[in-house]
Amino acid sequence: MIKKKKILISGASSGLGRSLANTLLKYNNKIYCIGRSSIKNEKIKSINCNFKNPKNIREKLSILLNTKKLDYVFLNAGILGKIKNIHKCSLDEILEIFKINVLANKEILDFIIKKKIKTKLIVAISSGAALSPKSGWYLYCSSKAAFKFLIESYALEDNKRKYINISPGLIKTKMQNQICRVDEKKISSVKKFKRLNEKNKVPMPDEVAENILNFIQNYKINNNGEYQDIRKK
């Protein structure tokens, strides 16, 4: 397990991000968190930031980070957005999800590069949704595809850091609750997710966090910025 490292996590107030923070904390890591809500834990240094306004991120990071080294950065923050047919998606909805799922991450990366913060590995929490569209999922799929491409682009141009896109598979978070509330008669693509939730086959965040941390600890990157679906590992 990763021990005694300095780690930045975005979106750690709930779900996978919180599980990553809590797991890493057990091994004497120094944890920094930025996200929608600050974390009530004296052992974690955190700051709240509204990712709907990405321009505030660099200012918040200047307050949060007092280090020139981050061993790991987990770009985890993200939203599902509404599941509905593409012709019903407004420009405002598209812009909002891209701000949170894509542009906020660009601001974090630009801050790290501008401040010359040494970083061992930047881990982007990706998704199978980044690879192909699903009916009713335009907002999420398109933003995750753009996020994946963002990481790949930084990996091509930034030779001082290592990047990886990790798809951890389904996770039992608020996103699954949102999916299960969608009418499958209107959006048939949610059926399989509902059935998996009904059968308790969606892993809990703590299990997924352990899987991610074990994976990156032992994995050697072949191509900087590559995409790895760790459900197959």
Q: Which residue has the tokens 């990157």?
A: 221
Locus of tokens 């542009």: 103
The pLDDT of residue 6? 97
| pLDDT higher than threshold 70 for residue 233 | no
The per-residue pLDDT for range 38-58, each reduced to its tens digit, is: 888 889 999 999 999 988 999
User: Is domain 6-168+205-232 classified as CATH 2.40.40.20?
Assistant: no
Percent of the chain whose pLDDT exceeds 90: 89
What's the pLDDT score for residue 232? Answer: 54
Residue 225: what pLDDT? Answer: 96
Looking up tokens 């968190």 gives: 33
Q: What is the largest CA-CA distance in the chain?
A: 52
Helices (H) and strands (E) counted in the chain, each on its own, are: 8, 7
Tally the C-alpha atoms within 13 A of residue 40's C-alpha that lie toward its C-beta.
0
| CB burial of residue 1 (10 Å; 0-12, 13-18, 19+) | exposed
What pLDDT does residue 38 have? 81
The token pair at 180 is 């299960």
| Contact between 156 and 225 (Cβ < 8 Å) | yes
Would you say residue 37 has pLDDT above 90? Answer: no
Quick one: average pLDDT of 188-194? 93
Calculate the average pLDDT of the chain: 94
Looking at residues 209-213, what average pLDDT do you find?
A: 96
Section 180-194 average pLDDT: 93
Band (76; pLDDT cuts 50, 70, 90)? very high
**Rounded to whole angstroms, how far apart are CA atoms 24 and 17?**
11
Assign 218 a pLDDT band (cuts: 50, 70, 90). Answer: confident
Residue 50 and residue 127: Cα distance in Å, rounded?
22
Picking from 117, 4, 122, the residue whose alpha carbon sits closest to that of residue 65 is 117
